[in-house]
Amino acid sequence: MFETTHKKLFIASVILLGSSLNGNLQAAENTLSSIKIDSTVILDGVAEPLWQKASALQVKVDKLPYQANNYSGIKETQVSLKSLYDNEHIYFLVQYSDPTKSLQRFPWQKQSDGQWKQLKDKDQTGHSNNYYEDKFAFFWDIKAPGFAKKGCAVACHLVNDDGKINGIDQKGKTAGRKYTRRAGETLDMWHWKSVRMNPLGIIDDQFVDHVKDPAVNKNWGRHGDSKTGGGYVNNTNKDKSGPAFMNRTQDGLNDFTIVPSQKTPFVDTFKSGDLIPGIMSEVFTGSRGDIWAKGNWENGVWTIEIKRKLVTTGDKANSQDVQFTDLSKIYPFAISVFDNSQINHVYHDGSLALSFK
């Protein structure tokens, strides 16, 4: 009947109203659960079936610290995170879409006149957004009040209206600096670099402390963990007119750093337009190289597998590394994606939490 149609219409509207309320009631769940396993993960940038044991935490990263005048990278992506652990190690699986695989980090290019030129670009802060590399980063709370609440923002300091940070002129030098408030407050920074470190299978393990003066440390609060060797240096000859070394097998497509096994003195048999890596990398030894990782880009998606000891040892491990000593605790962290950019990155507000199951 007509009457019942009216009633149905009305009831349908009430349900609609109710469900919009319901949407509001759903609390955001920001916890990544690490699942216990008794086999080991193979780090190859391919997610093996073992990962199906863990459920993914989806994190949208859609904020940028500044608008670079030549940035054409992603402004938003969804990161899927998974975690597993065994008696000794913790593993992470990171997956996110990035339409471009960017590896040409400041490469040398042979010009038509036979000269070599290093390809570079600079935005208004003096940083590259086009000839760089894809990167991914974690921040872990070691001991920084406010991190659990605000995430990366506790350590993020951008230039003010006078072009200064902490009263020090930074005009044209940077968009921002990282430091914590007080001595003793540190964050663990895992900086995965697709060109400089991925071929070697490690992450650049760094940390952030309270230094807010470039006279004390060029990078302010940002430091590499203690190392006994390894690292990366520019591949430049004495008079800076070209590369000093090249790869033994040069495919010109994938290897944009020169690793020791490939390193051979530069001999110019190249043609115009050919590229040679602008950087050379060696595995870090010591605390700076104690996180293993392998990333693989396929069909517009980066897949990165990461492995670290639950508890690290060594020089200053407790102030430079997050220590997963108590598996009943919650460990706050935050993540960010760098799309071919030196310092610009897409991030999320607040922090995420890791718990062990």
Partner 1 sequence: MRLNGLSFHSKLGLSGFLMTIMLGLLSAATLIGLLYSSSNSGFNIPEIDKVKAKYSESLLVGAMKSSMYQHVTVDEDIGVVEKWVKDGAPDNDYFNDEVMYIIEADCQKCHSRTSTMTGAIPSMPLNNYDDLLTYTEKGYSWVHMAKSAHIHLLGIAVVMVLVTGIFSLSSFPSMPKTVLICTAWSMLWLDISAWWMAKFSSVFAYVIAGSGALEITALVLMCLLSLYDLWWKKDKKLPE
Query: What is the binding site for partner 1 (CB under 8 A)?
Result: 2, 6-7, 10, 13, 17, 20-21, 24-28, 62-67, 145-146, 149-150, 153-154, 156-162, 166, 176, 181, 349-350
The residue among 160 and 272 lying less far from partner 1, judged by its C-beta, is 160
Helices (H), 65-112: none
Q: Which is nearer to partner 1, 14 or 46 (CB)?
A: 14
Distance CA 335, CA 187 (A): 13
Task: Tell me the one-letter amino acid at 123.
Answer: D
Q: How far is the CB of 175 from partner 1 (least distance, A)?
A: 9
Query: Which one, 71 or 91, has the nearer CB to partner 1?
Result: 71
CA–CA distance, 188 with 185 (Å, rounded to integer): 10
Output the CA torsion sign for 34, 39, 42, 43. positive
Q: Shortest Cβ distance from residue 281 to partner 1 (Å)? A: 32
What are the two backbone dihedrals, phi and then psi, of residue 108, each rounded to the nearest 5 degrees? -85, 140
Shortest distance, position 350 Cβ to partner 1, whole Å:
8
At its nearest, how many Å lie between partner 1 and the CB of residue 132? 19
Beta bridge partners of 280: 233, 258
b/e per residue 199-238 (b: at least 16 CB within 10 A): bbbbbbbbbbbbbbebeeeeebbbbbbbbeebbbeebbee
In this complex, which beta carbon is closest to partner 1, that of residue 10 or of residue 357? 10
Q: Are 353 and 333 in contact (CB under 8 A)?
A: yes
**Minimum Å distance from CB 27 to partner 1?**
5
Q: How far is the CB of 110 from partner 1 (least distance, A)?
A: 37
Please identify, using beta-carbon distances, which residue of 67 and 228 lies nearer to partner 1: 67
Contact 97, 78 (CB under 8 A): yes
Tell me whether residue 10 or residue 99 sits nearer to partner 1 (CB atom): 10
